[in-house]
Structure formats: C-alpha cells, structure tokens
Chain A
Amino acid sequence: MSEAAPAAALVPDRVVLPESAEEVQAVVLEAGEAGTRLLPAGRGTWLGAGGWGVDPGTRSEPGGGGEAGGRSESGGGTDNPRIVSTERLDAVHHYEPADLTLTAGAGIGLDHLARVLEPNGQWLPFDGPACDTGTLGAAVASGVSGPLSARYGATRDNVLGLEVVTGDGRILRIGGRVVKNVAGYDLVRLFTGSRGSLGVITRVSVRLFPRPDADVTLLFGGDAAGAVAAARRVCTHEVPVAAVEVIEGDEGGVGRAAAVAVRLLGGVDEVDESRARIVAAAGADPSAALEGGESRAFHERRIGWEAGAGVVARLAALPDRLAETLACARAVAAQTGGATSADAMQGVVRVKGSCGEGDLAALAEGLLRGRREMAAAGGTLTLSQAPAEVAARVGWTGGGGEEGGLTSRIKSLFDPDSTLAPSCP
C-alpha cells in the first residue's frame, strides 16, 4: 500500500464551497483535467483526520457560492491542493423522528445537528475526535469512533447511506435510509473511514437513537496502575456500561494521578441499579459522580480533547492489553509533554502533545518505537496530527497489512488519476 507523503503545513491553492453534488462533480472534473489535487474537507477544523497535515488557519470564509464555489486567497502554484469544502451542503433533507433516521448534507455541523435532534429527545452518538464542531461528512470520512461505540456501535455501524462524488467525478448514491439494507455490496462501509481518498461525501443518512433518560458519570480517582485495573474490572463486569475511560493527569478533575470515568446511560431505574453495582464492584465510592447535564457536558468537552495539539496519535490493541498500550502511549506523551486518554472498552489510547521546542527527530524515533512495540503485540499506532517533518518520517498509518494489493486497486477504481489528495488512508 502506498502512503501519501505528508505535505508541509499546507497552503491551499484555493478553497471552493460548492452547494450541490453536481457542483462538487464539476469541481472534481475540473481538477482532474487540470491535474490539480483536491482535498475534501468539511469546516476544515480537523483536516488532520484526513491524514494530511493542513493548518486549519488557511481556511477561508466562504466567498460567494454559486458556480463551483468561491475563491479564497491563492496560496501559490497549482502544486498545492485545492480544498473542496462541503460546508454549504448543510441542509437537513429528511428527518422522520419516528423512523429514527436522518438524511442531511455532509457539511452540516454536528453541533447544529444536535440542536435539530434535541427537541425530539434524539441524538447521534458520534463522539470521535472533533465530533463536537466538525461536520457530519467529515466524521464519516474519518470514520474514527469514540468511547460510546461500545454501546452504540462504531461510526460505520450507524451510517445507512451516502451520496458521494468519486475522484473521477461520478455521483453515486449508495446504501439507503432504512436501518437494514443488504442490497448490493457494502460501498457505504468502504467510504466510511476512507478519509476522502475515494471521493467527496456530499450527503449522509444516519441511524439515530433516543437520548436516554438518565446520564451518569462515575469518576474513580487513583494511581495509574490502579486505574487500569479498575477500568478492566468494569469492562468485564456483567453490568453493561456505555463507556469507560482512563484519564491521566488533572483532566479527570478528581485531583489524583488518574481517573476512571464510567458512563452509565439508560432508563432511570436501570442507571440507578448499574451505579450501585458498579460502585460495589469497584470496592470504593467514586471520587465524584456527575449527573444529567453535568455528565453530558463532561463528555462533550472530551470530544474536543485533541483540539489544537501539535501531535496526536492513536494506539490500539486488544482491550486486555490496556496496561501495555497505555505504557507505550505514556512514553510518547512524555516526549511531548502531553497527556493520554484511554477508551478502555475498545483498548484505544489517544495521546496528544505539543512539539514546539522538542527535538523532532527524537519524537519521530519515539513514535516509531511505539509503533514497533504496538505491532509486536498485534496492535497499531496511527498519527492524526504531527509536524510535517515528523509525519514524513513516521508515516500516518505505518502502511497496510497483507491485503494483496486490494487497497490500491480500490483506490484506482474510484480515483484512477489520484485527483484526491490523500492517496490512500
């Protein structure tokens, strides 16, 4: 699998803001003909998730939509990719609360979407990185799920249908808006998490959920080792919980080296009962218990946890290796003066840090060492934000597995001329 050489802090050729799939198509075709590379984006707040180190600062205000979008300041020669933003594709096309499904333009902000759903007591439980202010389309394109996926399924499990414009300019409407659909091959899953490398997602249908009546977060403070052990106990406990996170440092807000945040969602009786049993299993009263709006706010804040960090990496292995994965993540964090946050149910640890003054070569070395360690245990380390120099040495994903060339053949089926900037995820 070929990997994109990450660009330096990116100065886009220009940002275009089309208002329909057909306009996106025109942009794509034009770029294809001109040999300009295109970088699909939402609001551009977290372009890093596209595996492309873009400086969010280059995002421009929309300059008159209409015909193939407006132009922002020209950032230089045509070598620089052109950003195609879906920001204006932000309409809600279909929302029937009783069906628990919704179809909207890819550019709708997840914050805006939440406000649409709120009056009906419904929500889209996407809590991956930047799912607070990013767009629906970008959340789907990045495909990265957060801690709630243990309860609600990963992003890919809740996307029902997509409209996309492929890298060679075809408009495809795949999947549908019903919750069960096996007609034809599952291209929806292929596009979910494809990070803009196959096409521009222009419209999305998702499955919604009723917001549970009760929302409680129990915070157990302790030392780092104790926190991991406690988190594992909760994960394998008979009482189902919505999410379990291990938060190191002050962010747990309980004044201890680490905190385990156990989120309980459900009916009022159910949550009361789970709470009592989880506390009994933990063998200690929680240091804090957040209820209702407080609990919700706590987690919503955590969605934006990585925002603004210079280095962000994601380490994943089987959940029972959480201690090892965390140790590996801590080593990286130590180099960047950063912090870790673990989704204990999925065995995923996120690291963020800054790299202003540090030795970048040493950082790259550290990341590579971490990746080797993870790989040895069957795990992975992926970068989602890093200085270009580091990213160039480390690579965003570390390359593919033994997929026998499937990945590159898929890429060329949708984007034969590599018009779309990330060549493969």
Chain B
Amino acid sequence: MIPKALAVSLTGICGPDGVIADRDRLLVYESDALTAYRHRPGAVVLPRTTDEVRRAVQAITRHGLPIVPRGAGTGLSGGAVPLGGAVVIGTARMNRILSIDAANRRAVLQPGVINAELSAAAAAHGLYYAPDPSSQTACTIGGNVAENSGGPHCLKYGVTSRYVTGLTVVLADGSVVRLGGQGREAPGYDLVGLFVGSEGCFGIATEIEVGLLPVPEGVRTLLGIFDRIEDAGRAVSDIVSAGLLPAAMEIIDGPTIRAVEDSVFAAGYPTDAEAALVIEFDGLEAGLDAEAARAAEFCRCAGAREVRSAKDEEERLALWKGRKKAFGAMGRIAPDLLVQDATVPRTTLPAILKGISEIGKRYGLVVANVFHAGDGNLHPNILFDRRDEDELERVERASKEIMQICVDSGGTITGEHGVGLDKKHHMPLIYGEAELDTMWGIRRVFDPGEVLNPGKVLPEETDPAARASRDDGAVGEKPAAAPAPAHA
C-alpha cells in the first residue's frame, strides 16, 4: 500500500478514478499473461497524457517507490509484474491515435493504442502496421516497443524496431525526452533503437511514431500437413534456401493441433497429424501463384502428407485463427503453461525439435510447440498443473534443458517475449560478465536509481554495484528483491 499523501497527490494528477489504491482491487494487476508470477502492486495509476505521466513519475519517486509501466498485460515474461510494491503506470487510457500521415506512411500514437486497431485505422489509407504479434488484437504498441515484439509476418517484414521512428519518453527522473522522430535520420546514437526492447527499464514511452506499409495486394496461404514435425522443419529450411521469401511460415505441432481443434476456433486441421505448416506469400498478385506452387512442392518433397491452399479469405482466416489462438486453446489441456521463446538457426530446427520432444518424454511432460518457424523462433509450451509439486519440479528442469540445447545450437533464450522476470536468471547462458555489466551500465544511464521496473532483465548477481558492495563486506540490502517465481 502506498502512503496516503502519495495517493492524494496521484489523485490530484490522474483524477479519483485514475488511481487505484484499494488492496483488493489491486489483485488483478499482480500478473501479466505469464501467471506463474504474482506480485501485488502498491497502487495503479491510469494517466491520459505525457504530462500526467511525468507528474505521476515525479510524485512516486519523491516517495521512493519503484514504477512499472503496463500496457495490456499480455506479456509472456512477467515484464509488467510489479516487484517490491511498485506503482503501476497503466497506459489503458492513453489510447488515442494522434495522427496518420498517409503521405509519409507514418503514424503518431499514444502507447495504449492496440496493435490491431492501428492497422484498422490505417486501412482507410490503404496502409497497415506490419509487426503482428499473435496477440495483436489485445497488446498495445507501447508494450510492443518495450518488448521489441515480433509476429508471424516478421519473417519478411522485420520486427517492431524496424518500424519505430520516434519516441517521446518520460525518464525516471521525471524529465521528458524526444528521441528520433519525423522519420529516422536523426544524427547521433540510435537511441530509439536502444530504447526499443528495453522492457520498461529505461523510461515510459508516452508518444510513439511508427512507419506504416501499403497493404499487400494479394495473399496466398498454404497449409502443409506432416506426420513428423522434423519434416515440417526441413520444409521450412528448404523453402528459404531456395530463395523464396514467404511473408510467414508457422508450425503448429500435434498436441497444439488437437487443442485448437477441440476449441471454438477449430480450423479444420487433421487431428492425427504431427505438424501443420502454414505458409503465406503476399505482395503483387502477379507471381504469387507460382511462388505458392513452388513452396507446396517443397512441402511435398519434405514428406507432407497433404498440402492445402486457402480458397478464399474466409478459409485463410480460419487457417490463421487456429494459429493465432493456439496459445489460449492450450488452456483447455492443462491449467498452467510455461511458454518458452528461444530462437535457433533455421537449419537446426529439425534436430532441435527432435531434442525437445525427447526432453518432454524424458520428464513425462506434454510439450506443445507452436512457433514462428521461418525465423527459427520456437515456442515450446510446457503444460502442467501447478497444484502438482512433483510436476512443477520436472517442468523447471525440462525447461532449462530445452533452453540449453537451443543456446548450444547457436541460438538465444528469447526471440520476442523478452527476458522480464522469467528468463533473467538464464541471461548468463548467453552473456558473460562483461556484457551483463555493460547492460547494467546502460540501464543506469537511463535510470540511475533503478526506479523503473526493478528486478527485471538482468540478474542481480551480475550487478557490478551489488558485487562491489558485497566485496566491501556490505552484505544485506539487495538492490531489488525479486522473490522466487512460483514455478522456479
């Protein structure tokens, strides 16, 4: 709970209905979409403007409390989970599109604008916003910026950071800075690029300028059905090696297929298949059929039992629906879900997929895979029930092994969901002390007092300041207490 005086000043800034300080009501802010972590915030404020954010930040820091920005809370790494009684600054009311500049194919918006709604608004100008996380109907652009989100079509079009051209940011000291803007030619360091993906630790983005693309004229969607997931992985690799550049290539594995088909979003995938590969080409109508035909041939050569193509927009949407709603549909098979997000070099996909299923078998766990195959970005979802303690333990071990084989293949621990709370202890798998020290340093460039989203991204044990104080014998106070996650 926050001090009364703070509640009063926040109410003065955001209005009585813009401040939530009642303990019970705060319960709903204890998690994001990764429910393994639960930490109740000290309060929640819902500002409407940059200036309200600035004043709220100043008020909160005056009371020495940490701050956690929150968009739609669809994050899958515990990024928006408030540690240490932090005050959440939610962007739900900062949801206006400030301008769409069709002549320059860009838009300026508040951070709480929902990804899909930006594209819907831009459609009037024949434009759209390219990065399309599977959560696009719910997640905010502010959250996308913080996580540098990707999506199925990022195979061809690239991830969020390619499209963010300017930012207005409120820093931890309450100052407001403008980075980039009016296109992206500003001289100097690429601070926009540095901010994108900073997971709420560098500042609160309060205005975002993004680039838009013309809506592609034509689309072809294929569905390859495979009896072995490794074959699907090989088809992906072959298609890319052949010089084809699909807009998206997504794999949905057997357990996931069965969950989806069992849900209200049944897309008509055969339930006895072990993998479905969705391939999409877009662009000018001319040439699309030929590209699709070539990709279909690669699928057949790799062993697809069947290749379908969506006959119309309705079928196309149904194919995608199954993919985009897959995560939710898994809620039907098991109460809890641990989502992983490793990226591996595309050519190692078949071997890694095999490795993952072996690890699953060894620990007696169901691992459902649904992922951005074209980018080599895997999402092995380990299904479990947190009420079963023995299972919890196995989940933890299996998850670590999976991450390890991905890293060993030349991959990384997170491709798009971010490190957050969930993967910070795995950062040493890919970075040494020098790199982690540097990241701590960069964090302090933006936020010297570690006010913003403390306890995220970087493991405390790598914090040079904390190390130094330990060396001095000054034991005790940790910079930010990060309680052990429920599943760890």
A210 to B443, CA, bound (A): 37
Interface contact B435-A178, CB-CB below 8 Å: no
Interface contact A100-B240, CB-CB below 8 Å: yes
Which residue in B241, B291, B375, B432 is a CB contact (below 8 Å) of A180?
B375
Residue of B at shortest CB range from A276? Answer: B286
Interface contact B187-A380, CB-CB below 8 Å: yes
The distance from the CB of A279 to the nearest CB of chain B, in whole angstroms, is: 14
Could you tell me which residues of chain A, from 141 to 199, have a CB within 8 Å of some CB in chain B? 143, 153-154, 156-157, 166, 170-174, 176-187, 189-190, 192-194
Known: A170-B438, A186-B197, A193-B189. A178 touches B286 (CB 8 A): no
The distance from the CB of B76 to the nearest CB of chain A, in whole angstroms, is: 12
The distance from the CB of A233 to the nearest CB of chain B, in whole angstroms, is: 12
Interface contact B240-A378, CB-CB below 8 Å: no
Interface contact A266-B445, CB-CB below 8 Å: no
A209 to B101, CA, bound (A): 30
Could you tell me which residues of chain B, from 71 to 117, have a CB within 8 Å of some CB in chain A? 101-106
Which residue in A99, A170, A382, A414 is a CB contact (below 8 Å) of B345?
A99
Interface contact B284-A182, CB-CB below 8 Å: no
Could you tell me which residues of chain B, from 173 to 218, have a CB within 8 Å of some CB in chain A? 175, 177-179, 181-191, 193-194, 196-198, 201-202, 214, 216-217
Query: What sequence of 0s and 1s flags, for each residue 395-425 of chain B, a beta carbon within 8 Å of any chain A beta carbon?
Result: 0000000000000001111111111000100
Chain-A contact segment, one of B158-166, B248-256, B356-364: B158-166
Residue of B at shortest CB range from A122? Answer: B243
A-B contact count (CB 8 A): 246
Interface contact A274-B284, CB-CB below 8 Å: yes
Known: A269-B287, A398-B187. A153 touches B162 (CB 8 A): yes
Interface contact A184-B457, CB-CB below 8 Å: yes
Is B18 at the interface (CB under 8 A from chain A)? Answer: no
Number of B interface residues at 8 Å Cβ cutoff, please give it.
Answer: 91
B residues less than 8 Å from A177 (CB atoms):
345, 410
The distance from the CB of B393 to the nearest CB of chain A, in whole angstroms, is: 25
The distance from the CB of B97 to the nearest CB of chain A, in whole angstroms, is: 18
Interface contact A183-B188, CB-CB below 8 Å: no
Known: A185-B198, A211-B243. A193 touches B434 (CB 8 A): no
The distance from the CB of A320 to the nearest CB of chain B, in whole angstroms, is: 4
Interface contact B432-A403, CB-CB below 8 Å: no
Known: A178-B343, A348-B185, A397-B187. A183 touches B419 (CB 8 A): yes
Is B280 at the interface (CB under 8 A from chain A)? Answer: no
Residue of A at shortest CB range from B431? Answer: A184
Residue of A at shortest CB range from B294? Answer: A267
Interface contact A173-B214, CB-CB below 8 Å: no
Is A78 at the interface (CB under 8 A from chain B)? Answer: no
B residues less than 8 Å from A187 (CB atoms):
194, 435, 438-439, 442
A367 to B290, CA, bound (A): 51
Interface contact A185-B214, CB-CB below 8 Å: no
A residues less than 8 Å from B243 (CB atoms):
121-122, 210-211, 213
Known: A99-B347, A170-B438, A180-B343. A407 touches B189 (CB 8 A): yes
The distance from the CB of B237 to the nearest CB of chain A, in whole angstroms, is: 5
Interface contact A404-B345, CB-CB below 8 Å: no
A171 to B485, CA, bound (A): 33
A residues less than 8 Å from B193 (CB atoms):
156, 186, 189-190, 192
Interface contact B290-A267, CB-CB below 8 Å: yes
Interface contact A346-B190, CB-CB below 8 Å: no
Is B150 at the interface (CB under 8 A from chain A)? Answer: yes
Residue of B at shortest CB range from A314? Answer: B185
A1, A185, A268 — most chain B CB neighbours (10 Å): A185
Which residue in A153, A270, A401 is a CB contact (below 8 Å) of B287?
A270
Interface contact B283-A406, CB-CB below 8 Å: no
Interface contact B376-A273, CB-CB below 8 Å: no
Chain-B contact segment, one of A11-19, A110-118, A235-243: A235-243
Could you tell me which residues of chain A, from 385 to 409, have a CB within 8 Å of some CB in chain B? 396-398, 400-404, 406-407, 409
Which residue in B159, B181, B376, B441 is a CB contact (below 8 Å) of A413?
B441
A406 to B102, CA, bound (A): 32
Known: A97-B241, A100-B240, A182-B417. A406 touches B445 (CB 8 A): yes
Interface contact B162-A410, CB-CB below 8 Å: no
The distance from the CB of A382 to the nearest CB of chain B, in whole angstroms, is: 5
A250 to B355, CA, bound (A): 61
The distance from the CB of B397 to the nearest CB of chain A, in whole angstroms, is: 21
Which residue in B186, B245, B446, B458 is a CB contact (below 8 Å) of A184?
B458
Interface contact A186-B284, CB-CB below 8 Å: no
Interface contact B413-A183, CB-CB below 8 Å: yes
B residues less than 8 Å from A96 (CB atoms):
345, 347
Interface contact B445-A180, CB-CB below 8 Å: no
A residues less than 8 Å from B214 (CB atoms):
238, 240
B residues less than 8 Å from A379 (CB atoms):
182, 185
Interface contact B182-A410, CB-CB below 8 Å: no
The distance from the CB of B241 to the nearest CB of chain A, in whole angstroms, is: 4
What are 5 of the A-B contact pairs (CB < 8 Å)? A170-B434, A178-B412, A180-B150, A183-B423, A266-B284
* Cβ-closest 10 pairs across A and B: A189-B193, A273-B286, A210-B243, A269-B287, A316-B185, A397-B187, A180-B415, A270-B287, A98-B241, A320-B103
Give residues in A with beta carbon < 8 Å to B. 1, 96-101, 121-122, 143, 153-154, 156-157, 166, 170-174, 176-187, 189-190, 192-194, 209-211, 213, 236, 238-240, 266-270, 272-274, 314, 316-320, 346-348, 378-380, 382, 396-398, 400-404, 406-407, 409-410, 413-414, 424-425
